[in-house]
């Protein structure tokens, strides 16, 4: 846990420093991971990606960027506290290192989300199901550009977690193998679902295993994924299917804590849930000893902020306690429960919080309208760009659409571009790889840019 091991060829590259200059870089490899994520363009784009409320006009409402930063803060506390607890159990770990690893993984945990959040994932999945066929099942005008069922499944069940792994290991510094070459510990911690889209033998996912709920890497990235997971010593239950890194449970807990508590706070701030009700829901998480110490009622907004902070603190302590009690089972690949689901005193009130937020927030009329528009937007962009890159004989319109895609989108370390035009670049790729390049482009867009581009290309709105 917290291994310094890296995938093959992965090194932390630092420029040489003259003897008379400042001291050498004192950052750990995990600090470097954290900084590289912060400075990446993909991370910056999260500022205009949906957390709960798409294209919100409120300056207060969280986006994926603020959610990721808040989750990172919670994750750092979880990692440091867990590290201190492990030290008390005579485990040789550095608490600050665990804190940084979990914080970095939290920063990156949503970096692969497409525009409009989970609705964007569903839009991509829907488009593939409607337009493309599985191998051997072509019908009703749907063609099959895939060579294997695994390739079809990657896109028919498009997953932001797998896209996140792809961004860190392939799309950043895409001209070299391993991208920015993050530590295997950070990659393991951010991988909540270390498995492919199709399980060995085509078996169904085991619902009792939280690590099999979704998938974490595309077939195109399989070699890098296996290399990273094996470098951390994760248990390989089946070929390509791994148990979670223990720190991934802390990353999941940070995400769960933030979206449960903070999505409720956002809903209250937008007037979708009464502030008093939101405070009562948060207070239900607190143990009696903490409730008895709360200050007299203050201004509603202050009261809500106090309730949020107090609840997060309690959930952090509860999650660390469960982690320390079960870390051996995690290392053996036997523990398969989210940390905040392991205790009834936490799980029950959190379920009520999530139910209230879903009814009044996630399913509010405005959110549903914009998510529906998101389906049209992403589906329309896929209609245009996917068709343009899959065909080997593009018409005039498809040629113009190709020109809108940057050539570097099709760059691969195993097949570098050297002055080729778009047609030559595409000829080097399989149809599956071409489609992945399109989803790379669309998934990387912000909500606002995707809407603007779709309107312009559809003739609804012309460039100014």
Q: Smallest Cα–Cα separation from 446: which of 166, 116, 62, 167?
A: 116
Domains in the chain (CATH in brackets) are 29-116+157-246 (1.10.3210.10), 117-156+364-464 (1.10.3550.10), 260-361 (1.10.3410)
pLDDT in tens, 32-78: 999 999 999 999 999 888 666 555 555 566 788 999 999 999 999 99
DSSP type of residue 169: I
- Long-range CB contact pairs, 219-223, < 8 A, 24+: 219/148, 219/150, 219/151, 219/154, 219/432, 220/154, 220/166, 220/170, 220/432, 220/433, 220/436, 221/162, 221/165, 221/166, 221/169, 221/170, 222/196
- DSSP per-residue string spanning 314-363: HHHHHHHHHHHHHHHHHHTT---S-GGGS-HHHHHHHHHHHHHHIIIIIT
pLDDT in tens, 116-141: 888 889 999 999 999 998 888 877 77
User: Are 407 and 425 in contact, with CB atoms under 8 Å apart?
Assistant: yes
User: Are 165 and 223 in contact, with CB atoms under 8 Å apart?
Assistant: no
Answer positive or negative: Cα dihedral of 264, 375, 122, 440.
negative
pLDDT in tens, 230-284: 999 999 999 999 999 999 999 999 999 998 998 899 888 888 889 999 999 999 9
The tokens describing 29, both together, are 């490899």
| Integer Cα distance of 105 and 259 in angstroms | 16
Residues, the chain: 464
Residue 85 pLDDT: 96
| Integer Cα distance of 60 and 265 in angstroms | 10
* CA-based end-to-end distance of the chain: 53
The model's pTM is: 0.89
241 sits in which H/E element: strand 241-242
Residue 179 pLDDT: 84
User: Are 281 and 264 in contact, with CB atoms under 8 Å apart?
Assistant: yes
Q: Smallest Cα–Cα separation from 436: which of 367, 390, 393?
A: 390
Residue 248 burial class via C-beta count within 10 angstroms: exposed 0-12, middle 13-18, buried 19 and up? buried
User: Are 190 and 164 in contact, with CB atoms under 8 Å apart?
Assistant: yes
Residue 22 pLDDT: 64
Ordered per-residue pLDDT tens for the chain, 464 residues: 644 445 444 444 555 555 566 667 789 999 999 999 999 999 999 988 866 655 555 556 678 899 999 999 999 999 999 999 999 999 999 999 999 999 999 999 999 999 988 888 999 999 999 999 888 887 777 788 899 999 999 999 999 999 999 999 999 988 888 888 999 999 999 999 999 999 999 899 998 899 999 999 999 999 999 999 999 999 999 999 999 999 999 999 999 999 899 889 988 888 888 999 999 999 999 887 766 666 656 678 888 989 999 999 999 999 999 999 999 999 999 999 999 989 888 999 999 999 888 887 666 676 677 778 888 899 999 999 999 999 889 999 999 999 999 988 988 887 777 767 888 888 889 999 999 999 999 999 999 999 999 999 988 877 77
Residue 11 pLDDT: 42
């Amino acid at each position: 846990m917290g291994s310094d091991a890296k995938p093959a060829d992965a090194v932390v590259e630092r420029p040489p420093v003259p003897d008379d200059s400042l001291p050498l870089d004192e950052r750990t490899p995990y600090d470097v991971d954290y900084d590289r994520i912060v400075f990446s363009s993909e991370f910056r784009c999260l500022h205009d990606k949906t957390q709960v409320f798409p294209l919100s006009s409120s300056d207060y409402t969280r986006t994926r960027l603020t959610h990721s930063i808040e989750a990172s803060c919670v994750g750092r506390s979880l990692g440091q506290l867990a590290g201190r607890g492990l030290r008390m159990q005579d485990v040789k770990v550095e608490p600050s290192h665990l804190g940084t690893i979990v914080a970095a993984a939290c920063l990156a945990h949503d970096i692969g989300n497409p525009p409009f959040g989970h609705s964007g994932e569903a839009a991509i999945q829907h488009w593939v199901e409607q337009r493309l066929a599985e191998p051997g099942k072509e019908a009703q005008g749907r063609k099959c550009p895939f060579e294997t069922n695994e390739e079809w499944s990657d896109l028919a069940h498009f997953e932001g977690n797998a896209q996140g792994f792809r961004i860190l290991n392939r799309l950043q510094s895409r001209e070299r193998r391993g991208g920015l070459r993050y530590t295997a510990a950070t990659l393991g911690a951010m991988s909540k679902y270390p498995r492919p889209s199709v399980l060995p033998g085509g078996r169904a996912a085991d619902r009792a295993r939280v690590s099999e709920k979704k998938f974490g890497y595309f077939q195109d990235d399989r070699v890098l994924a296996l290399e990273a997971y094996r470098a951390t010593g994760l248990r390989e239950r089946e070929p390509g299917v791994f148990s979670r890194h223990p720190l991934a449970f802390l990353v999941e807990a940070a995400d769960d804590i933030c979206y449960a508590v903070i999505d409720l706070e956002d809903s209250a701030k937008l007037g979708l849930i009464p502030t008093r009700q939101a405070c009562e829901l948060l207070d239900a998480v607190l143990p009696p000893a903490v409730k008895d110490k709360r200050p007299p009622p203050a201004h509603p907004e202050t009261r809500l902020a106090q309730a949020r902070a107090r609840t997060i603190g309690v959930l952090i302590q509860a999650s660390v306690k469960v982690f320390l009690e079960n870390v051996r089972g995690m290392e053996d690949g036997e523990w398969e429960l989210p940390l905040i689901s392991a205790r009834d005193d936490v799980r029950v009130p959190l379920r009520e919080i999530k139910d209230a937020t879903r009814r009044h927030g996630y399913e509010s009329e405005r959110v549903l309208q914009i998510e529906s528009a998101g389906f049209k937007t992403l589906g329309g962009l896929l209609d245009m760009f996917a068709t343009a890159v899959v065909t080997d004989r593009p018409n005039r319109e498809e040629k113009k659409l190709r020109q809108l895609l940057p050539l570097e989108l099709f760059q691969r370390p195993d097949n570098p571009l050297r002055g080729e035009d778009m047609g030559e670049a595409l000829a080097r790729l399989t149809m599956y790889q071409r489609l992945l390049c399109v989803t790379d482009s669309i998934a990387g867009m912000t909500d606002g840019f995707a809407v603007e581009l779709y309107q312009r290309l559809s003739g609804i709105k012309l460039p100014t």
